[in-house]
Protein backbone atom coordinates (compact mmCIF):
# COMPACT_ATOMS: atom_id res chain seq x y z
CA UNK A 1 0.00 0.00 0.00
CA UNK A 2 1.18 3.54 -0.82
CA UNK A 3 2.01 5.09 2.59
CA UNK A 4 1.49 8.65 1.34
CA UNK A 5 -2.23 8.19 0.65
CA UNK A 6 -5.25 7.32 2.75
CA UNK A 7 -8.28 5.25 1.87
CA UNK A 8 -10.91 7.51 3.41
CA UNK A 9 -11.33 10.97 4.85
CA UNK A 10 -13.46 11.94 7.82
CA UNK A 11 -16.54 13.95 6.86
CA UNK A 12 -19.66 15.06 8.73
CA UNK A 13 -21.50 11.97 7.44
CA UNK A 14 -18.71 9.57 8.28
CA UNK A 15 -15.51 8.36 6.64
CA UNK A 16 -15.77 8.84 2.86
CA UNK A 17 -14.52 6.00 0.68
CA UNK A 18 -14.65 5.62 -3.11
CA UNK A 19 -14.78 2.36 -5.02
CA UNK A 20 -15.13 1.71 -8.76
CA UNK A 21 -16.49 -1.06 -10.93
CA UNK A 22 -14.16 -1.87 -13.85
CA UNK A 23 -15.93 0.43 -16.34
CA UNK A 24 -16.13 3.24 -13.78
CA UNK A 25 -12.43 3.16 -12.85
CA UNK A 26 -11.26 5.88 -15.25
CA UNK A 27 -14.05 8.29 -14.26
CA UNK A 28 -13.56 7.47 -10.55
CA UNK A 29 -9.86 8.29 -10.86
CA UNK A 30 -10.70 11.70 -12.27
CA UNK A 31 -13.29 12.30 -9.52
CA UNK A 32 -10.72 11.39 -6.87
CA UNK A 33 -8.18 13.77 -8.40
CA UNK A 34 -10.65 16.67 -7.99
CA UNK A 35 -11.83 15.47 -4.58
CA UNK A 36 -8.22 15.53 -3.43
CA UNK A 37 -7.87 19.14 -4.58
CA UNK A 38 -10.96 20.04 -2.52
CA UNK A 39 -9.77 18.02 0.48
CA UNK A 40 -6.31 19.61 0.33
CA UNK A 41 -7.80 23.11 0.22
CA UNK A 42 -10.32 22.52 2.97
CA UNK A 43 -8.65 20.19 5.43
CA UNK A 44 -5.02 19.74 4.35
CA UNK A 45 -5.49 16.02 5.09
CA UNK A 46 -3.90 13.15 3.17
CA UNK A 47 -5.20 12.44 -0.34
CA UNK A 48 -7.80 9.75 -0.99
CA UNK A 49 -7.25 6.77 -3.26
CA UNK A 50 -9.62 4.13 -4.62
CA UNK A 51 -10.69 1.30 -2.32
CA UNK A 52 -9.19 -1.97 -3.55
CA UNK A 53 -11.97 -4.09 -5.05
CA UNK A 54 -12.23 -6.75 -7.72
CA UNK A 55 -14.86 -7.50 -10.37
CA UNK A 56 -14.73 -11.19 -11.17
CA UNK A 57 -16.42 -12.61 -14.27
CA UNK A 58 -16.98 -16.37 -14.33
CA UNK A 59 -16.80 -18.48 -17.48
CA UNK A 60 -20.60 -18.58 -17.76
CA UNK A 61 -20.74 -14.75 -17.70
CA UNK A 62 -21.84 -14.37 -14.07
CA UNK A 63 -20.15 -11.54 -12.20
CA UNK A 64 -19.33 -10.80 -8.57
CA UNK A 65 -17.58 -7.97 -6.73
CA UNK A 66 -15.17 -8.53 -3.86
CA UNK A 67 -14.07 -5.61 -1.66
CA UNK A 68 -10.55 -6.17 -0.36
CA UNK A 69 -10.60 -3.51 2.38
CA UNK A 70 -12.77 -2.71 5.38
CA UNK A 71 -15.62 -0.29 4.56
CA UNK A 72 -17.70 -0.88 7.73
CA UNK A 73 -19.36 2.37 8.81
CA UNK A 74 -18.21 4.28 5.72
CA UNK A 75 -20.01 6.88 3.62
CA UNK A 76 -19.27 4.79 0.55
CA UNK A 77 -19.44 5.81 -3.15
CA UNK A 78 -19.39 3.30 -6.03
CA UNK A 79 -18.58 4.67 -9.49
CA UNK A 80 -19.76 2.87 -12.61
CA UNK A 81 -20.02 4.04 -16.25
CA UNK A 82 -22.56 1.61 -17.57
CA UNK A 83 -22.15 2.26 -21.31
CA UNK A 84 -18.37 2.00 -21.71
CA UNK A 85 -17.12 2.38 -25.30
CA UNK A 86 -13.63 1.26 -24.25
CA UNK A 87 -14.73 -2.16 -23.03
CA UNK A 88 -16.36 -5.25 -24.50
CA UNK A 89 -18.81 -5.29 -21.58
CA UNK A 90 -22.43 -4.67 -22.45
CA UNK A 91 -24.77 -2.27 -20.64
CA UNK A 92 -26.34 -5.31 -18.99
CA UNK A 93 -22.95 -6.70 -17.87
CA UNK A 94 -22.07 -3.35 -16.32
CA UNK A 95 -25.46 -2.87 -14.69
CA UNK A 96 -25.14 -6.31 -13.08
CA UNK A 97 -21.55 -5.50 -12.00
CA UNK A 98 -22.87 -2.32 -10.33
CA UNK A 99 -25.57 -4.25 -8.48
CA UNK A 100 -23.03 -6.77 -7.20
CA UNK A 101 -20.72 -3.93 -6.08
CA UNK A 102 -23.58 -2.20 -4.21
CA UNK A 103 -24.50 -5.47 -2.52
CA UNK A 104 -20.86 -6.21 -1.65
CA UNK A 105 -20.71 -2.81 0.11
CA UNK A 106 -24.04 -3.54 1.83
CA UNK A 107 -22.83 -6.97 3.00
CA UNK A 108 -19.60 -5.27 4.17
CA UNK A 109 -21.67 -2.97 6.43
CA UNK A 110 -21.00 0.43 4.84
CA UNK A 111 -23.20 3.01 6.63
CA UNK A 112 -24.35 4.76 3.47
CA UNK A 113 -23.98 3.57 -0.13
CA UNK A 114 -24.15 5.94 -3.10
CA UNK A 115 -24.15 4.66 -6.68
CA UNK A 116 -22.36 7.24 -8.84
CA UNK A 117 -23.68 6.47 -12.32
CA UNK A 118 -23.35 9.35 -14.79
CA UNK A 119 -25.41 7.32 -17.27
CA UNK A 120 -28.71 6.08 -15.84
CA UNK A 121 -29.38 2.87 -17.80
CA UNK A 122 -32.72 2.24 -19.51
CA UNK A 123 -33.67 5.89 -18.91
CA UNK A 124 -35.62 6.00 -22.19
CA UNK A 125 -37.90 3.23 -20.95
CA UNK A 126 -39.68 5.25 -18.26
CA UNK A 127 -43.27 4.75 -19.47
CA UNK A 128 -45.19 2.24 -21.49
CA UNK A 129 -46.92 2.77 -24.79
CA UNK A 130 -48.19 -0.76 -25.31
CA UNK A 131 -47.78 -4.12 -23.57
CA UNK A 132 -44.22 -3.43 -22.46
CA UNK A 133 -41.98 -3.07 -19.44
CA UNK A 134 -41.07 0.14 -17.57
CA UNK A 135 -37.44 -0.83 -17.30
CA UNK A 136 -36.19 2.46 -15.82
CA UNK A 137 -38.34 1.71 -12.77
CA UNK A 138 -37.02 -1.84 -12.59
CA UNK A 139 -33.46 -0.46 -12.60
CA UNK A 140 -34.35 1.91 -9.72
CA UNK A 141 -35.79 -1.03 -7.78
CA UNK A 142 -32.76 -3.26 -8.49
CA UNK A 143 -30.42 -0.51 -7.22
CA UNK A 144 -32.45 -0.02 -4.03
CA UNK A 145 -32.88 -3.72 -3.35
CA UNK A 146 -29.12 -4.23 -3.73
CA UNK A 147 -28.56 -1.79 -0.84
CA UNK A 148 -27.99 1.72 -2.23
CA UNK A 149 -29.21 4.76 -0.28
CA UNK A 150 -28.53 7.32 -2.98
CA UNK A 151 -27.84 7.64 -6.70
CA UNK A 152 -25.93 10.46 -8.35
CA UNK A 153 -26.45 10.72 -12.10
CA UNK A 154 -26.12 13.22 -14.96
CA UNK A 155 -28.96 14.73 -17.00
CA UNK A 156 -31.24 11.74 -16.53
CA UNK A 157 -33.29 11.43 -19.71
CA UNK A 158 -36.67 11.44 -17.93
CA UNK A 159 -36.93 13.28 -14.60
CA UNK A 160 -39.92 11.11 -13.68
CA UNK A 161 -37.31 8.45 -12.84
CA UNK A 162 -36.65 10.34 -9.56
CA UNK A 163 -40.08 9.17 -8.42
CA UNK A 164 -39.25 5.52 -9.13
CA UNK A 165 -37.11 5.37 -5.99
CA UNK A 166 -38.83 4.58 -2.70
CA UNK A 167 -36.01 4.64 -0.16
CA UNK A 168 -32.98 5.93 -2.09
CA UNK A 169 -32.55 9.56 -3.16
CA UNK A 170 -31.61 10.56 -6.69
CA UNK A 171 -29.39 13.59 -7.29
CA UNK A 172 -29.54 14.63 -10.94
CA UNK A 173 -26.57 16.78 -12.01
CA UNK A 174 -26.53 18.93 -15.13
CA UNK A 175 -23.65 19.32 -17.54
CA UNK A 176 -25.04 22.57 -19.03
CA UNK A 177 -22.94 25.06 -17.03
CA UNK A 178 -19.69 23.20 -17.74
CA UNK A 179 -20.48 22.92 -21.46
CA UNK A 180 -21.63 26.56 -21.74
CA UNK A 181 -18.44 27.79 -20.01
CA UNK A 182 -16.32 25.67 -22.38
CA UNK A 183 -18.25 26.90 -25.41
CA UNK A 184 -17.88 30.56 -24.38
CA UNK A 185 -14.14 30.15 -23.81
CA UNK A 186 -13.37 28.22 -27.00
CA UNK A 187 -15.85 29.12 -29.73
CA UNK A 188 -17.24 32.28 -31.22
CA UNK A 189 -20.61 32.25 -32.91
CA UNK A 190 -22.52 34.82 -34.94
CA UNK A 191 -26.08 35.59 -34.03
CA UNK A 192 -26.45 32.30 -32.16
CA UNK A 193 -29.79 30.46 -32.05
CA UNK A 194 -30.13 27.68 -29.47
CA UNK A 195 -32.22 24.92 -31.01
CA UNK A 196 -33.77 21.99 -29.18
CA UNK A 197 -33.46 18.79 -31.24
CA UNK A 198 -36.93 17.79 -30.04
CA UNK A 199 -39.68 19.08 -27.75
CA UNK A 200 -38.24 17.04 -24.84
CA UNK A 201 -35.06 19.12 -25.06
CA UNK A 202 -36.88 22.48 -24.88
CA UNK A 203 -36.18 23.13 -21.19
CA UNK A 204 -32.44 22.57 -21.63
CA UNK A 205 -32.40 24.73 -24.75
CA UNK A 206 -34.26 27.48 -22.88
CA UNK A 207 -31.58 27.39 -20.15
CA UNK A 208 -28.80 27.67 -22.76
CA UNK A 209 -30.61 30.48 -24.53
CA UNK A 210 -31.07 32.43 -21.27
CA UNK A 211 -27.48 31.89 -20.15
CA UNK A 212 -25.93 32.66 -23.55
CA UNK A 213 -28.43 35.50 -24.29
CA UNK A 214 -29.33 33.78 -27.57
CA UNK A 215 -32.58 33.23 -29.46
CA UNK A 216 -34.47 29.95 -29.16
CA UNK A 217 -35.87 27.53 -31.76
CA UNK A 218 -37.34 24.02 -31.45
CA UNK A 219 -37.39 21.06 -33.81
CA UNK A 220 -40.68 19.27 -33.41
CA UNK A 221 -39.84 15.61 -33.92
CA UNK A 222 -42.39 12.79 -34.05
CA UNK A 223 -41.15 9.23 -33.64
CA UNK A 224 -42.65 6.07 -35.10
CA UNK A 225 -42.55 3.89 -31.99
CA UNK A 226 -43.64 0.81 -33.90
CA UNK A 227 -40.10 0.70 -35.37
CA UNK A 228 -36.64 0.92 -33.79
CA UNK A 229 -35.09 4.47 -33.95
CA UNK A 230 -37.46 5.66 -36.70
CA UNK A 231 -38.49 9.35 -36.87
CA UNK A 232 -41.72 9.95 -38.80
CA UNK A 233 -41.75 13.78 -39.18
CA UNK A 234 -39.79 16.94 -38.30
CA UNK A 235 -40.56 20.67 -38.48
CA UNK A 236 -38.85 23.80 -37.18
CA UNK A 237 -40.47 26.29 -34.81
CA UNK A 238 -38.31 29.46 -34.96
CA UNK A 239 -35.89 31.16 -37.35
CA UNK A 240 -32.28 30.11 -38.05
CA UNK A 241 -31.80 31.68 -41.48
CA UNK A 242 -28.26 33.06 -41.80
CA UNK A 243 -27.53 32.29 -38.14
CA UNK A 244 -25.19 29.97 -36.25
CA UNK A 245 -26.93 27.27 -34.26
CA UNK A 246 -26.16 25.34 -31.08
CA UNK A 247 -28.17 22.18 -30.41
CA UNK A 248 -27.93 21.03 -26.76
CA UNK A 249 -29.07 17.42 -26.34
CA UNK A 250 -28.92 15.12 -23.34
CA UNK A 251 -27.52 12.21 -25.30
CA UNK A 252 -26.39 11.12 -28.74
CA UNK A 253 -27.07 7.45 -29.24
CA UNK A 254 -27.28 6.38 -32.90
CA UNK A 255 -26.99 10.01 -34.06
CA UNK A 256 -30.30 9.80 -35.95
CA UNK A 257 -32.00 12.65 -34.06
CA UNK A 258 -29.07 15.04 -34.50
CA UNK A 259 -28.46 14.27 -38.17
CA UNK A 260 -32.12 14.79 -39.00
CA UNK A 261 -32.25 18.04 -37.02
CA UNK A 262 -29.04 19.32 -38.63
CA UNK A 263 -30.32 18.56 -42.15
CA UNK A 264 -33.56 20.41 -41.41
CA UNK A 265 -31.67 23.40 -39.94
CA UNK A 266 -29.34 23.58 -42.97
CA UNK A 267 -32.39 23.53 -45.26
CA UNK A 268 -33.74 26.46 -43.24
CA UNK A 269 -30.54 28.46 -43.85
CA UNK A 270 -28.47 27.78 -40.70
CA UNK A 271 -24.76 28.60 -40.95
CA UNK A 272 -22.37 26.86 -38.50
CA UNK A 273 -24.05 24.17 -36.39
CA UNK A 274 -22.61 23.15 -33.02
CA UNK A 275 -23.99 20.16 -31.13
CA UNK A 276 -23.51 19.57 -27.41
CA UNK A 277 -24.51 16.57 -25.35
CA UNK A 278 -24.05 15.40 -21.77
CA UNK A 279 -23.85 11.73 -22.74
CA UNK A 280 -22.05 11.08 -26.06
CA UNK A 281 -22.80 7.35 -26.30
CA UNK A 282 -22.10 7.26 -30.04
CA UNK A 283 -23.69 3.84 -30.49
CA UNK A 284 -23.57 2.42 -34.03
CA UNK A 285 -23.71 4.12 -36.55
CA UNK A 286 -23.25 7.52 -34.81
CA UNK A 287 -19.51 7.94 -35.46
CA UNK A 288 -19.96 7.18 -39.15
CA UNK A 289 -22.95 9.55 -39.47
CA UNK A 290 -21.30 12.39 -37.55
CA UNK A 291 -17.98 12.04 -39.44
CA UNK A 292 -19.86 12.25 -42.74
CA UNK A 293 -21.88 15.25 -41.54
CA UNK A 294 -18.66 16.99 -40.48
CA UNK A 295 -16.98 16.27 -43.84
CA UNK A 296 -20.04 17.63 -45.68
CA UNK A 297 -19.94 20.81 -43.58
CA UNK A 298 -23.23 20.08 -41.85
CA UNK A 299 -21.71 20.05 -38.37
CA UNK A 300 -18.96 22.36 -37.06
CA UNK A 301 -18.33 20.51 -33.77
CA UNK A 302 -19.87 18.04 -31.34
CA UNK A 303 -19.03 18.82 -27.70
CA UNK A 304 -19.60 16.01 -25.19
CA UNK A 305 -18.57 15.20 -21.63
CA UNK A 306 -16.29 12.48 -20.31
CA UNK A 307 -19.28 10.89 -18.55
CA UNK A 308 -19.05 8.59 -21.58
CA UNK A 309 -15.31 8.23 -21.96
CA UNK A 310 -13.97 7.50 -25.43
CA UNK A 311 -10.30 7.83 -24.45
CA UNK A 312 -7.62 10.36 -25.45
CA UNK A 313 -6.93 8.69 -28.84
CA UNK A 314 -10.55 9.14 -29.95
CA UNK A 315 -10.52 12.80 -28.93
CA UNK A 316 -7.16 13.36 -30.68
CA UNK A 317 -8.18 11.59 -33.90
CA UNK A 318 -11.75 12.85 -34.22
CA UNK A 319 -11.72 16.39 -35.63
CA UNK A 320 -15.44 16.95 -35.05
CA UNK A 321 -15.34 15.96 -31.36
CA UNK A 322 -14.43 18.07 -28.33
CA UNK A 323 -14.57 16.74 -24.77
CA UNK A 324 -15.34 18.59 -21.53
CA UNK A 325 -14.63 16.89 -18.21
CA UNK A 326 -17.55 16.73 -15.81
CA UNK A 327 -15.64 14.91 -13.04
CA UNK A 328 -15.08 18.12 -10.98
CA UNK A 329 -18.85 18.56 -10.62
CA UNK A 330 -19.24 14.99 -9.35
CA UNK A 331 -16.34 15.57 -6.93
CA UNK A 332 -17.94 18.74 -5.52
CA UNK A 333 -21.34 17.07 -5.08
CA UNK A 334 -19.81 14.00 -3.39
CA UNK A 335 -17.79 16.24 -1.05
CA UNK A 336 -20.83 18.34 -0.12
CA UNK A 337 -22.96 15.25 0.50
CA UNK A 338 -20.26 13.81 2.72
CA UNK A 339 -20.02 17.11 4.62
CA UNK A 340 -23.84 17.33 4.85
CA UNK A 341 -23.70 20.62 2.97
CA UNK A 342 -26.24 21.87 0.44
CA UNK A 343 -25.88 20.67 -3.15
CA UNK A 344 -28.71 22.81 -4.62
CA UNK A 345 -26.37 25.36 -6.21
CA UNK A 346 -24.41 22.55 -7.84
CA UNK A 347 -27.51 20.94 -9.36
CA UNK A 348 -28.48 23.92 -11.53
Distances, alpha carbon 45 to alpha carbons 4, 7, 13, 18, in Å:
11, 12, 17, 16
Spatial separation of the C-alpha atoms in residues 256 and 254, rounded to whole Å: 5
Q: Among this protein's residues, is 268 annotated catalytic?
A: no
Q: How far is the CB of 256 from ligand R5P (least distance, A)?
A: 4
226-255 positions binding ligand R5P, by CB under 6 A:
229, 249-255
Q: Which helix (H) or strand (E) holds 273?
A: strand 273-280
Number of residues that bind ligand R5P (CB under 6 A): 14
- 49 near 68, Cβ under 8 Å? no
The residue from 201, 238, 248, 280 that contacts ligand R5P (CB under 6 A) is 201
The residue from 73, 85, 256, 328 that contacts ligand R5P (CB under 6 A) is 256
Q: How far is the CB of 200 from ligand R5P (least distance, A)?
A: 5
Specify the stretch interacting with ligand R5P by CB under 6 A; choose among 158-166, 182-190, 195-203, 320-328. 195-203
Spatial separation of the C-alpha atoms in residues 36 and 49, rounded to whole Å: 9
Active site residue: 169, 181, 210, 221, which one?
Answer: 221
- 287 near 253, Cβ under 8 Å? no
Q: Does 155 bind ligand R5P (CB under 6 A)?
A: no
- 273 near 266, Cβ under 8 Å? yes
The residue from 116, 161, 197, 333 that contacts ligand R5P (CB under 6 A) is 197
Of 48 and 251, which has the nearer Cβ to ligand R5P? 251
Among residues 176, 145, 170, which one has the least CA distance to residue 305? 176
- 154 near 114, Cβ under 8 Å? no
Active site residues: 221
Residues of this chain that interact with ligand R5P (CB under 6 A) are 197-198, 200-201, 229, 249-257
Amino acid sequence: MDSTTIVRTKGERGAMSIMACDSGRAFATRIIQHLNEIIQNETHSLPLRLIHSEEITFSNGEVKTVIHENVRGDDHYIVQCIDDPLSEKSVNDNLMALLTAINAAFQSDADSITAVIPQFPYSRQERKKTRECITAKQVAQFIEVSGANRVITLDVHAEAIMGFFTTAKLENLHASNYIIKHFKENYSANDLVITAADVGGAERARYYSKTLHAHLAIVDKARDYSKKSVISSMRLVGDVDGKDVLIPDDMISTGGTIINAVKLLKDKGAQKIYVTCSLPFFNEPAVELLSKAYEEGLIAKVIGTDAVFHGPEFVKNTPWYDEVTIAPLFAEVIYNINQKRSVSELLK
